[in-house]
Amino acid sequence: IAILYEPGLFPALLHHDSTEKEPVKQNGGVPQAGNIDEHLKIFRINITELVKDVNFSGVGVIDFESWRPIFRQNFASLLPYKELSVKIKQEKYPGKEKTWYESAAAEKFELSGWDFVNRTLTLAKELRPKAKWGYYGFPYCFNLNGSPNNTKENCDSDVQKENDRIHWLFNASDIIFPSVYLRTTITPDERLMLIRGRVKEAVRMANNVTGEPKPRPVLTYIRYVYTDTKTLLEKDDWEKGLNAMKEMGSNGVILWGSSDDLNSTEKCKDF
């Protein structure tokens, strides 16, 4: 497996340290202000250096999480992407209604963002054609994510419609990689619901693709620690979680961890 973390030069709003009040704009900050040719040039270099074997036939994951290609889904910590997008429109077209700015910003953001996402995946497949490529974390679901509005197993119908809007991403992907990282702030039953809902949505998108293979394989990302406490998953969560993934149609699992999870002898022994 080859995982490319924030490869290329995706437009992004970066905080290098906690003292910075304003984020630093990388490649324009938002996709509509970015240079896609410069991004793809760096991405080409990254793949050449990080996946040296041109005949690499394993799994290739593009792990890009700075912003989401659906404008509405850039909330919470990603809200600055929406704010900057609106600001750009306000500066260019003063005197319009608030709703006009939001609609125009969303349209421009998505048009440009989808181009970045799609062309990056296309180039990865062109450079390492024997690998099986996809993006980490898609499709998004947001079920049981801590919001009082997202307490059900199934993804909200609006989110499902948004996933349908980016069907091109799943058509272009060789593998779909939903993420079901768990935390202790929800109950064991809710953790199972989170897994079931997210895998179910991934399988739905995998079945709706055009072209072969249909359906696309689904490999579910799970972290071996709880994301809030960094303690190892309990046996019950492991067993029930893996069974739930299988029942919902996941073809396999990607067991992910950070280097910080295993940076001591004690942590390695516990693992």
The packing angle between helices 98-127 and 36-50, to 10°, is: 30
**CB of 156 closer than 8 Å to CB of 150:** yes
The one-letter amino acid code at 220 reads T
Say whether 166 sits in a helix, a strand or coil.
Answer: coil
Among 6, 65, 107, 153, the one annotated catalytic: 65
| Backbone phi and psi for residue 253, each to the nearest 5 degrees, phi listed first | -135, 145
The one-letter amino acid code at 218 reads V
Residue 74: Cβ-neighbour burial (10 angstroms; 0-12, 13-18, 19+): buried
Q: How far apart are CA 180 and CA 45, in angstroms?
A: 31
Active site residue 153: no
Element (H, E) at 236: helix 235-248
Residues 6+ apart with CB under 8 A from 180: 194, 195, 198, 199, 220, 221, 222, 241, 245
Q: Which residues are designated catalytic? A: 65
